[in-house]
Amino acid sequence: MTSGSLDVLNSLPAIWLLILASLILSVVAVAVSLMRSRKHAPVSPPTDLSETARKLLREFEKNGQSANASMVNWTSGTLKKILTDEMPGAQVIVVSNREPYIHNLDDNDEVELVVPASGLVSALEPITRACGGTWIAYGGGSADRQTVDENDRVAVPPDDPSYTLRRVWLSDEEHQGYYLGFANEGLWPLCHIAFTRPAFRASDWETYEAVNRKFADTVVAEATNDRPIVLVQDYHFALLPRMIRERLPGAIIITFWHIPWPNSEVFSICPWREKILDGLLGSSIIGFHTQFHCNNFIESVDRFLETRIEREDSSISYGGETSLVHAYPISIEWPSALLETMPGVAECRSEIRRKHGLSDEVKLCVGVERLDYTKGIVDRFQAIEELFINHPEWIGRVTFLQIAAPSRGALPAYRQLYEECHSYADELNRRFGRDGYKPVLMVAEHHTQRQVYEIYRAADVCLVTSLHDGMNLVAKEFVAARDDEQGVLLLSTFAGASKELLEALIVNPYDAASTSDSLLQALTMSEQEQSNRMRRMREIVRDNNVYRWAGSMLLDAARLRKRAVPDDASDHDPPVEGNVVRIFDRKGVAAL
Ligand code: F6P
């Protein structure tokens, strides 16, 4: 304080000093109470996508955030509304390798319907039901051909059809080279840090290219106009976006890569890296689950192609066109239609315990996944072994039910994993089992979604300890299934879901000792703590549901589409700075 200001204070009568001090105190008190009331204000329930919400979305975008603001109640209705309001008359075409409904012949030569174990299918199915349109996929079921019409189409879901499934037929050689070979022996291990060496064969690559072209032909044949919205799914179709772009320049192509994208050093292993990047950059939007994988993709493009990259917008201009690269974390249907028809938790608990001969006192830990080396099943068994060695008091008091849906069994790496998991489970049962008690139940069979939800509802702990996973929807499904707010989730730090479900017990699956410590923490967690954690995770999954995932991409696509018709001023958003919208002001956006 300067001597001048001290003079002023000294000259003030004491009464004025008192008034000044009490004024300052009141201002501070009001500010503190305002801050408190904000902190404790109830979260307003989300509303439908109203004009107000749209304005808010634009505000969010101005600040450089994604369009998927949390104040919108994302439902199938919201999604339909986006389509009818923002893209009237647009035809939606989904393309994936795996079909949502497989028709198989059972042992009695009867046709049975199978919904495959696939995160992609469980996420995309409610979306396609909401949007209608056509889903193009490989028809791999033994009764698939006998259940389609003369155009290879079948209306689904079978009990209440709302969209068309268009099946594409592949020969054994095509399936071998494109799916088993290039996609699953090449790209799958390349993109996952699981230390399985990728195999790249020129013949597989040629087949992959040919099959991508076959799907491009099918997309063009199914398109009812030249500006459809095509949702290309996953690593089976890296070349498809460019192939569609060449044939349907006005299409909006949204490509979603469901698995991680490696860093550029790892990606450089692929002999056809430039072609893969070129193919993907035929997309209007390229989506990943996490920003980390977006960054890896952009870094790979930067390293191997001549492009202009706008890091602020996350956009890449290449060959006169621009693609957006954004993170859209995938999710599940909320509320779950399936859950509405399920018995209560207590009933599920006793049913699963009865089925597996478990007494009421035994804690049940579950793992549910495809039998895949990225899922960390063997590492999980190591953590269980650690638990029994260091805490033998748990022997006889805990059982691990491992559901492993058979997957890609024609590949040696998967057959080897099957053997390894079974022999490890047998060994644990030999060492720690007694009098009919088996610590590990390994069930390598396909389960329906209903059966899986029954298991989630019966579990005390769910282990989602993948070595590397784009998202791992099992974590979100477990949370959705627990409307009783009980149960503990152990979640790998290397699964995309760990970026959202922060109240899970986050583990490093490579570290068996610390995973086993977390397991112990889960087994001994109080009901109150379980409930606190589960409630928060349920809020996250509710707000970030699969309609928000698809809706965010469609909103971004709608803005791209509006930019494509600059003369139609009436249909335009006001020009807004930032994110997607800034790109509208540039020429040559891909897909426009
Ligand atoms: O989540 C990755 C993924 O490859 C999906 O694309 C696929 O649907 C799922 O795993 C199951 O794999 P597959 O279709 O090879 O059985």
Residue ranges of E strands in 17-105: 92-95, 102-105
For residue 552, the CA-to-ligand 1 centroid distance in Å is 23
- DSSP annotation of 181 reads I
Mean pLDDT of 463-487: 98
Task: List the residue whose alpha carbon is closest to atom 5 of ligand 1.
Answer: 120
- Phi and psi angles of residue 253, each rounded to the nearest 5 degrees, phi first: -115, 115
For residue 204, the CA-to-ligand 1 centroid distance in Å is 19
Examine the pLDDT at 48 and tell me if it is beyond 90: no
pLDDT at 348: 98
For residue 245, the CA-to-ligand 1 centroid distance in Å is 25
Examine the pLDDT at 37 and tell me if it is beyond 80: no
| Apex 523 CA angle, 360 and 450, nearest 5 | 60
Q: Closest ligand 1 atom to the C-alpha of 119? A: 1
Q: Is 375's C-beta closer than 6 angstroms to any atom of ligand 1?
A: no
For residue 523, the CA-to-ligand 1 centroid distance in Å is 31
Compare 19 and 332 and report the one with higher pLDDT.
332
pTM metric for this prediction = 0.86
Distance between CA 90 and CA 251 in Å, rounded?
Answer: 10
- DSSP annotation of 495 reads B
For residue 143, the CA-to-ligand 1 centroid distance in Å is 21
CB atoms within 10 A of CB 147: 17
Distance between CA 165 and CA 148 in Å, rounded?
Answer: 9
Segment 233-292, tens digit of pLDDT: 999 999 999 999 999 999 999 999 999 999 999 999 999 999 999 999 999 999 999 999
CB crowding 544-555: b at 16 or more within 10 Å, else e: bbbbbbbbbbbb
Cβ-proximal residues to 367 (8 Å cutoff; 6+ apart), any chain: 375, 377, 380, 400, 401, 402, 403, 404, 462, 463, 464, 465
Structure tokens at 510: 């490579």
CB atoms within 10 A of CB 467: 23
Segment 550-573, tens digit of pLDDT: 999 999 988 877 776 554 443 444
Distance between CA 498 and CA 500 in Å, rounded?
Answer: 5
Q: Is 258's C-beta closer than 6 angstroms to any atom of ligand 1?
A: yes
Mean pLDDT of 305-328: 94
Structure tokens at 347: 């009933």
| Of 235, 258, 373, best ligand 1 pocket probe by most atoms within 8 Å of the beta carbon | 258
Distance between CA 480 and CA 478 in Å, rounded?
Answer: 5
Examine the pLDDT at 492 and tell me if it is beyond 90: yes
**Contact present, 500 and 489 (Cβ < 8 Å):** no
- DSSP annotation of 497 reads G
Examine the pLDDT at 590 and tell me if it is beyond 60: no
For residue 406, the CA-to-ligand 1 centroid distance in Å is 12
Examine the pLDDT at 68 and tell me if it is beyond 50: no
Segment 479-489, tens digit of pLDDT: 999 999 999 99
Q: Is 468's C-beta closer than 6 angstroms to any atom of ligand 1?
A: no
For residue 188, the CA-to-ligand 1 centroid distance in Å is 10
Cβ-proximal residues to 329 (8 Å cutoff; 6+ apart), any chain: 289, 290, 471, 496, 499, 500, 544, 549
pLDDT at 17: 56
Task: List the residue whose alpha carbon is closest to atom 14 of ligand 1.
Answer: 98
Task: List the residue whose alpha carbon is closest to atom 11 of ligand 1.
Answer: 118
> What confidence tier does 36 reach under pLDDT thresholds 50, 70, 90?
very low
Task: List the residue whose alpha carbon is closest to atom 10 of ligand 1.
Answer: 118
Please give the order of strands across the beta sheet that includes 488-492.
440-443, 398-405, 363-370, 461-464, 488-492, 505-507
Q: Is 259's C-beta closer than 6 angstroms to any atom of ligand 1?
A: yes
pLDDT at 87: 87
Cβ-proximal residues to 13 (8 Å cutoff; 6+ apart), any chain: none
Which position has the token pair 């860093």? 263
Q: Is 137's C-beta closer than 6 angstroms to any atom of ligand 1?
A: no
Q: Which helix (H) or strand (E) holds 160?
A: none
Exposed, middle or buried: residue 494 (CB in 10 Å: 0-12, 13-18, 19+)? buried
In order of 154, 340, 531, the CA distances from 537 in angstroms are 38, 19, 10
| Of 95, 115, 118, best ligand 1 pocket probe by most atoms within 8 Å of the beta carbon | 118
| Of 114, 234, 476, 549, best ligand 1 pocket probe by most atoms within 8 Å of the beta carbon | 234
Distance between CA 239 and CA 232 in Å, rounded?
Answer: 10
Cβ-proximal residues to 532 (8 Å cutoff; 6+ apart), any chain: 503
Q: Is 154's C-beta closer than 6 angstroms to any atom of ligand 1?
A: no
Q: Is 227's C-beta closer than 6 angstroms to any atom of ligand 1?
A: no
For residue 369, the CA-to-ligand 1 centroid distance in Å is 11
For residue 368, the CA-to-ligand 1 centroid distance in Å is 14
Q: Which helix (H) or strand (E) holds 264?
A: helix 264-267
CB atoms within 10 A of CB 178: 27
- Phi and psi angles of residue 405, each rounded to the nearest 5 degrees, phi first: -70, 130
